[in-house]
Structures are given as structure tokens and as C-alpha cells.
Homo-oligomer: A and B are copies of this chain.
Amino acid sequence: MPKSSKYVYFFGGKNADGKTEMKNLLGGKGANLAEMVNIGLPVPAGFTITTEVCTYYYSHKNTYPNKLNSEVLKALNNIEKSMKAKFGNAENPLLLSVRSGARASMPGMMDTILNLGLNDTTVIGLIKKTNNPRFAYDSYRRFVQMYGDVVLGLKPENKNDEDPFEVILDRKKRKYGFKLDTKLTADHLKELVSEFKDEIKKKTGHNFPDNPMKQLWGAIGAVFSSWMNDRAIVYRKLNNIPAEWGTAVNVQSMVFGNMGEDSGTGVAFTRDPASGENIFYGEYLFNAQGEDVVAGIRTPNPMSDLKKENPKIYNELILIRKKLEKHYKDMMDVEFTIQQDKLWMLQCRVGKRTGFAAIKMAVDMVNEKLISKETAISRIEPNQLNQLLRPIFDLEEKKKAINQNKLLTKGLNAGPGAASGKVALSAHDADQMASKGEKVILVRIETSPEDIKGMNASEGILTARGGMTSHAALVARQMGKVCVAGCSALKIDYKKRSFTVEGKDVVVNEGDYISIDGTTGEVLLGKIETKPSEVIQVLISKTLDGKKSSVYKTYASLMNWADKIRTMNVRTNADQADQAENAIAFGAEGIGLCRTEHMFFGGDRIMSVRKMIVADSLEERKKALAELLPLQRNDFYSIFKVMKGRPVTIRTLDPPLHEFLPHTEKDIIELASELKIDVNVLNLKISSMSEFNPMLGFRGCRLGIIYPEITEMQAQAIIEAACDAKKDGIKVKPEIMIPLVGHTNEFKLQEKIVRSVAEKIMKIKKVKVNYLVGTMIELPRAALTADQIAEKAEFFSFGTNDLTQTTFGLSRDDAGKFLPLYVQNDLITNDPFEVLDQTGVGQLVKIGTERGRKTRPNLKVGICGEHGGEPASIEFCYRTGLNYVSCSPFRVPIARLSAARAVLNSKAKK
């Protein structure tokens, strides 16, 4: 950075030395103050001492550059001229505020010093000016306290220790029998000023500096020193802010909103930060200071009232609003003060907003030609789209319920949206109750593939165990169900058909109403009304015409722009035709993962699956598989039909077989009688299949290698369905995916089976279908030997759920005991099952992609783990050169937006 020729930047009146672009030199606050002056807003005059002075200060043994003093004096002189007051003057004293202001917002640095310049002389001037001795002495009292605390270091290190000034203040109140500070009179406050000064003398051995210039330099020094205090160092470390940046110091003249009924203060947003509506939104109070608005002691008035109360000021603000949006091209959040009927702008920054508002504003601003489509896209956090898609609680209703103490507990926000329904404690019950037209919340300790049907019948799922990527969470998101998972306070008693909540004196019985908010993780007793979002009403339930819904139009515009920018495809993880149909409505361009095993639970087929598993001979097993063949073929046919020629990646059987076997005594007896075998024999069989670590056991392609007939049946069902579909005029693009490959030979064996079955079927059916055979890369060894695997594999799909489990040596089902604490204590930044761990797991994704493409340059590479729907992970995929991401249907819009942002961000970095 070239050294700037000046150290002090003045702003005020109609002139400012700085501007927004000088943020690095002036800090965020200083640059924005200057910019407001530049665009003609009324800003109390002041100056900024640059960050370079801070750097100089630390590299020169805490001294300042020679020129600084004269520049400060000059700037101070300009303030005096602009504000028509004199610093240290007994008649018309100028008072100042001193604040730090680094390049990035940095809580943990110095507190603000207000009312600087007051002493026993100037306080008289202030009284004269305001005709309000109590106001003057209260300001003086506050200044001495602040200065003593912050500049002279009397503020205790430990938050629990007492502030010596507060002790004195309390003593004073006790003495006069007051409870509130406001009862103290001007005289009391005057006494306090003196007592505060005595305390300072006692604690520091020095007199309180009465000289205003001495006060000013003390405050400036304190700001620079605070750059290296412990809190600031820790904060910088956590947020990767280099110490070399330094801080600027902002010195600004004070204005007061509490100088009577012609004074006031307020905050405003240039648009509604909640709804995004293009209206002026804000609150104000007369005869008040900023803190009064914030503290909530008095209720502020809505901005619309100001129009009547003070149309002049209101119109001024309306003009300012327009100017700000035109200049900053964004919704701005401003603070203002009216001092004796004059408006002053104190702060202006980009306003915070809800996701809903963010989207609406961004799209509106494009339509208003305020910003480009690219800017609109880069302004929306992809997850904010959720607010357009999910059913929601009426916020007022929820607030009411919480106030009635109906909040039972909080779990993980595993499947966003809101749902209310009757508690069902088993999938079977959920199914039964739903079939009677009731809305159901399925409540389980955890869910398993057997529960699929009941989960599908429910409005929402609530579990006591399992994390963000537990079975319940995964399936719920894919189904678009609301889900709160890992709610460890729930104590479910299946026998008593009820649950209790730790620390709550309540028993919730099956059939009772509860409500769950999957966006926040809240679990509430009773029913709260929900409504589907307009976008869903248009896209999925088709109960609303898109042309009539402004929310849908906003959504559609945004998605349209995103699609034009992005280069990476977005597919969906879907196991059934209806899921696939939803996904297409959300813009999916193919299926990235179709889990065949989920089909195994539908209807009566589970019995055939179980027969296949407990078969004692190849013959028996083949017989059972033959029963499954037509069912699977139909499944695939209906998916091909929905997908209309879009690629469909079908994974061969993956989970450990014991997952399909019954667990309860009753079910085991039933199965034994169905299979006509002894219960003890069946029990032995089931127990012999149990595993120590099922995640690392007999599953994935290992099944198809030991039982090739399973892969054969599945390949046959896929290719037959594809041939049939093609005959019926439906385009098909099947991509057969072999799971859990760790060694190239595993893939070769399975690939050979698939191809030989396919060739045979196509010969019989006399149809030629183009199909690919590829693999999931979900084991570290697969990534490390991707060059070998790519010799035969035509595509890779990174299964980052399992890859994360193996790379970290971390079972997602068991991580609940420590992983949340890891994240809480900043040991790791994110749950690696939510956000792809780019440092570790990401290396393997990179290695796998590079090595795979080294062998096969046109290798198609995608990702089908849960990370395929997570914005930061999608950006990583884009940077790594993946062809597509695949995610659950309801995350497809998020992925489309993320993929577009990835392109923009990567351009911005170049």
C-alpha cells in the first residue's frame, strides 16, 4: 500500500476529503461518513485519522508521525467553522465523539467516547446553549465516567467485577433514596462529576484532564491502543483479520436529540427489511437519544407518523432515502438525529434483511434498473430461498404459543418448514392415522428404512437421536418433510405410547397435537396453523396460477437469471417418480442418485427382499430375486417416464442386508411363519448377520460381489425398463452406479456383470439403449486410486456423506456425543456433514477428480452427498471442475442459485 500523503481526512458541510472506496485507509465508518457528505447529506462535521497512523504508531514505539498534530488542528478548525462552535469554548463549546473504525467491523475494540470537550468551564457554555443544567451535568457526568473507564482504564477487566463509577452512582442514589438515575438532579450530577474525578485521582494518581485537547489526544491514543487489546487480538484471529490493517479514529462533533421537543432521533430502512416492500420503514422518538429507541423504555412511533408530526423533516428524509438507494444501489439502514429542528445523519450502512426481503428487493431492484442481474444473484444467500419454499407458521401465532410456555424443547433444524399434527409413535400408526385424513407428526427415537412409508404419510418428523444427516434428516429433506432431529431432551416410551421432555412437567400422548419448526428446531405443544408458500402452491400443489403470484414471479425471475449464469448442472436425489416430478418442478436436470433400496420397502415387496436375504442357496435367492424383478422394472420405468430423457443415475443395492430384516419378536415370528422356517433358525440367521460396524461392513458393491445375482437382477430391471420405455417413445439415459468401490477390481467385476446382462437384454428386446456404468467415490482409497478405477468407470459421483465418515473416521449416527461440542467450541468451523470439509475431504474430491480425468479426460464427475445442496460446498464443486451437483428436490433451487454465485465469485476473484 503506498503511503498516503495525508493522515487526517475531514468531512462536514458540503466537503469531504474521503469517500466509500477509501475504506482501507479510513475504515468502514469513516469512509461512509465521508460518502454521506459527498452525496449531500447533512452529517455532523468531523475527521478521520487514517489506519496508516495506526500502523505507524505500532512500528514507531507508540508515537505519531510529525505532521499529525498540525493536521488534527487544521481539521478541528474546519469542524468549528462548519458547526459554528468552538472546541473548549466557554460560551459555545464544540463537543466531540471519538470512535474506532477498522476496515472490517470489529466488536471487541474500544467503546465510544461521547461529549468529549466538557470541563467545568465548557459545561457552563452547554447550559447556556441548552438552557438545561440537568442535561449538561448528566452529559458531563457520563463523559467523565466513559473517559475514566475507557481511556484511563478504570473499567474492570472481568465483566462480573464492579465498575467503580457505578459503585459511586449507587451510593449516591441510596443516599437520596432514589431507585432511578432520572431522579437525580443537576446538583446531584454535579456532585457526581466531582466524586468521579476524585476516584480517578485515587485510582490513577493523576488528575482528570480538564484540557479538551489533552482529552482528545488521550482518546485518540486509547483507540490506537485498543487495536492490540486481548479481545481485539482474539477477534482478529477468529476472523482472519491481519493485525497490519490497523484501525482508523473518527472524531466527530456531537449532536443531541434530547434537547427538547424540537429534537429527536430515529432509525430507518430505505425498504421494509422484513417483507422487502419498496416503502420507507422506520421509527423515531422526539426528545430522545439513540439509546432510548433501542432500550425500549419508550415506544417509538412509526415513520408514517412523522409525515404529520414534522412534514419538513419527513420530506427531507424521503429525499435522503431516494439519494441513498440511488447512490448505494441497495437497501440502507440509517440513524438520524434532529437537533433543534435540524436533521443530522449519523450513520448509514447496508441494511440487514430477512431472506424473503433479500430476494424481493434484489429482484425489484433489477426491475427498477438499479442493479444488474449478477448483482442481484450475488446478494442473495442461497439458503434464503428456503423462505420462499417452506410451509411456515404464522409468526404471531407461534409467538403467542411461546408466551403461553408451550415451547417444549429445541433440536436440530434438520428439515426446514413448519408442521403441526398429531403425535404418532410408530411409522405404522402414522400411516394409519394419515389414512384417516389426520395430519401426523411422526415421533421416533430414530428412524430406519422400514419407516419410509410412515414418514411419507406424516407432515413432519421429530427424532430424539441422530444428526443433520441422520436417516430421518436425509429422508425428510428428500421428501420435503419438516424435520427436527436429535432432540435429546425427548424421552420416548414406546410402551406407554407417550413421551416426556427433560426439565418439563408434561406428558405428550400419542394423538396429542404438537408443532415443529424445522427452520429453527423448535418443538411446541399444541396446534399452530401453517400455510404452504406461494411458490409451492404454484410449482407443486398447482393450486395457484404463477401469473397471479408476485412471490412466484420473483422466484421465477431469479431462477431464470441464475440458470443463465451457471455452468454446472443440478440434479436431484430421488428414489420415486413423485419425488422426481417435484424435483423437475424445482428445475432438476436429471437424477444424480436413485437409491434402489428405498424401493424395497414399498408394499409387499419387503417380504421378497427378506426371502432373498435369508435364502440358504443360490436357487432360493434367485427365486426371491425373480419376484423383485418386475417390481423394480416398473419402478424404473415410471422414473424414466417422468424424467423424459434426462440422465438417471441408479445405484445398485447399497445398505447392509440386515437393515431389511425385522427387529421385533412379533415381526420375526411372522417372517418365520411366512418362510416356513423355525423361529430359532431365523433368529440365529438374523443374529449372525449383525455387525460391529455396519457402516464399514458387508454392504455396497461387496454385496454384489458375493451375491452377483443381486446385481444381475438390478441391471436386468434397469435395462428392461429402459428398453420398454424406449419402445414406448420415451427417451432414456440410464447411468448405473456401483457403490462403495474401494479397489478397481471390485468395479471391474460389477461392471462386467452389468454389461453382460445389458447386452443380453438388449439383444432379446431388440432395442439399443445408451447407458453408462460408473461408480460412487465414497472411500478414501477410491479417491486415491481413481486413476485405476477410471480405466473402466464412465462417471464418478462423489458420495461425500460416506467419504466424510471415512476420512474423519466419524460415524454420523454416533457423532452427536461430541461433534456439536466441537462446533460450539470452535474446534471445527462447521459440522462436516453439513458443509464439506474442503481442507480434508475436499482434498480427496480434488485428487479423485484429477486422477480420474488423467485416465479419462472426459470423465463425468458429480457429487450426490448431502453437500450437493449446500452453497459453500457447491462453490467448491464448481472450483474443482465437477460437471454437476445432485441434491434433494427441495434444495434444487438453492443449488441452482449457488452454482450461479460460484461463477460470479470465481470471476470476482480473477
Q: Which A residues from 768 to 791 make CB contacts under 8 A with B?
A: 778-781, 784-785
Pair A813/B695 contact, Cβ less than 8 Å: no
Among A702, A778, A841, find the residue whose CB has the most chain B CB atoms closer than 10 A.
Answer: A702
Identify A785's interface contact among B691, B706, B742, B839, CB under 8 A: B839
Pair A745/B828 contact, Cβ less than 8 Å: yes
Pair B696/A696 contact, Cβ less than 8 Å: yes
Q: Which A residues from 838 to 879 make CB contacts under 8 A with B?
A: 839-841, 843-844
Q: Which A residues from 805 to 861 make CB contacts under 8 A with B?
A: 805-811, 813-815, 817-818, 821-822, 827-828, 837, 839-841, 843-844
Give bound CA distance, A740 to B693, whole Å.
Answer: 17
Which residues of chain B come closer than 8 Å to A822, judged between CB atoms?
705
Identify A694's interface contact among B693, B818, B837, B843, CB under 8 A: B693
In whole Å, how far is A67's beta carbon from the nearest beta carbon of chain B?
A: 43
Identify A779's interface contact among B809, B817, B844, CB under 8 A: B809
Given A706-B818, A745-B827, A827-B705, decide whether A813 and B698 contact each other with a Cβ distance below 8 A: no
Pair B805/A696 contact, Cβ less than 8 Å: yes
Q: How many residues of A contact B (CB 8 A)?
A: 47
Pair B740/A784 contact, Cβ less than 8 Å: no
In whole Å, how far is A371's beta carbon from the nearest beta carbon of chain B?
A: 40
Give bound CA distance, A697 to B696, whole Å.
Answer: 12
Pair B742/A840 contact, Cβ less than 8 Å: yes
Asked if A176 is an interface residue, CB under 8 A from chain B, the answer is no
Which residues of chain B come closer than 8 Å to A814, judged between CB atoms?
691-694, 696-698
Which residues of chain B come closer than 8 Å to A742, judged between CB atoms?
807-810, 840
Pair B784/A843 contact, Cβ less than 8 Å: yes
Asked if A453 is an interface residue, CB under 8 A from chain B, the answer is no
Asked if A234 is an interface residue, CB under 8 A from chain B, the answer is no
In whole Å, how far is A828's beta carbon from the nearest beta carbon of chain B?
A: 6
Given A706-B817, A745-B827, A822-B705, decide whether A809 and B843 contact each other with a Cβ distance below 8 A: no
Among A694, A697, A706, A822, find the residue whose CB has the most chain B CB atoms closer than 10 A.
Answer: A697
In whole Å, how far is A333's beta carbon from the nearest beta carbon of chain B?
A: 36
Nearest B residue to A488 by beta-carbon distance? B688
Asked if A231 is an interface residue, CB under 8 A from chain B, the answer is no
Given A740-B809, A781-B841, A818-B706, decide whether A694 and B695 contact each other with a Cβ distance below 8 A: no
Asked if A746 is an interface residue, CB under 8 A from chain B, the answer is yes
Which residues of chain B come closer than 8 Å to A779, judged between CB atoms?
807-809
Pair A807/B827 contact, Cβ less than 8 Å: no
In whole Å, how far is A693's beta carbon from the nearest beta carbon of chain B?
A: 4
Asked if A802 is an interface residue, CB under 8 A from chain B, the answer is yes
Asked if A743 is an interface residue, CB under 8 A from chain B, the answer is yes
Q: Which A residues from 516 to 552 make CB contacts under 8 A with B?
A: none
Asked if A402 is an interface residue, CB under 8 A from chain B, the answer is no
Pair A840/B784 contact, Cβ less than 8 Å: yes
Asked if A395 is an interface residue, CB under 8 A from chain B, the answer is no
Asked if A749 is an interface residue, CB under 8 A from chain B, the answer is yes
In whole Å, how far is A750's beta carbon from the nearest beta carbon of chain B?
A: 11
Nearest B residue to A697 by beta-carbon distance? B814
Pair B693/A813 contact, Cβ less than 8 Å: yes
Pair A696/B844 contact, Cβ less than 8 Å: no
Given A705-B827, A780-B844, A784-B844, decide whether A696 and B809 contact each other with a Cβ distance below 8 A: yes
Given A745-B827, A745-B828, decide whether A813 and B692 contact each other with a Cβ distance below 8 A: yes
In whole Å, how far is A814's beta carbon from the nearest beta carbon of chain B?
A: 4
Which residues of chain B come closer than 8 Å to A813, judged between CB atoms?
691-693
Nearest B residue to A690 by beta-carbon distance? B814
Q: Which A residues from 529 to 587 make CB contacts under 8 A with B?
A: none
Give bound CA distance, A692 to B448, whole Å.
Answer: 12
Give bound CA distance, A115 to B821, whole Å.
Answer: 83
In whole Å, how far is A126's beta carbon from the nearest beta carbon of chain B?
A: 54
Binary contact track A94-110/B, C-beta < 8 Å → 1, others 0: 00000000000000000
Pair A802/B811 contact, Cβ less than 8 Å: no
Give bound CA distance, A746 to B825, whole Å.
Answer: 11
Which residues of chain B come closer than 8 Å to A692, judged between CB atoms?
694-695, 811, 813-814
Which residues of chain B come closer than 8 Å to A749, judged between CB atoms?
827
Which residues of chain B come closer than 8 Å to A841, judged between CB atoms?
781
Give bound CA distance, A779 to B740, whole Å.
Answer: 18
Binary contact track A203-237/B, C-beta < 8 Å → 1, others 0: 00000000000000000000000000000000000
Which residues of chain B come closer than 8 Å to A802, judged between CB atoms?
809
Give bound CA distance, A781 to B810, whole Å.
Answer: 11
Give bound CA distance, A691 to B465, whole Å.
Answer: 11
Which residues of chain B come closer than 8 Å to A778, judged between CB atoms?
809
Which residues of chain B come closer than 8 Å to A837, judged between CB atoms?
781
Give bound CA distance, A700 to B817, whole Å.
Answer: 13
Q: Which A residues from 722 to 777 make CB contacts under 8 A with B?
A: 740, 742-743, 745-746, 749
Given A702-B818, A821-B706, A844-B780, decide whether A693 and B811 contact each other with a Cβ distance below 8 A: yes
Pair B743/A828 contact, Cβ less than 8 Å: yes
In whole Å, how far is A827's beta carbon from the nearest beta carbon of chain B?
A: 5
Identify A780's interface contact among B706, B740, B806, CB under 8 A: B806
In whole Å, how far is A756's beta carbon from the nearest beta carbon of chain B?
A: 17
Instruction: Using CB atoms and an 8 Å cutoff, list the residues of chain A in contact with chain B.
Output: 691-698, 700, 702, 705-706, 740, 742-743, 745-746, 749, 778-781, 784-785, 802, 805-811, 813-815, 817-818, 821-822, 827-828, 837, 839-841, 843-844
Give 22 A-B contacts (CB < 8 Å), ordered by A residue.
A692-B814, A693-B694, A693-B696, A693-B811, A693-B813, A695-B809, A695-B811, A696-B814, A697-B815, A697-B817, A698-B814, A698-B818, A705-B822, A705-B827, A742-B840, A778-B809, A780-B806, A781-B807, A781-B841, A784-B843, A785-B840, A806-B806
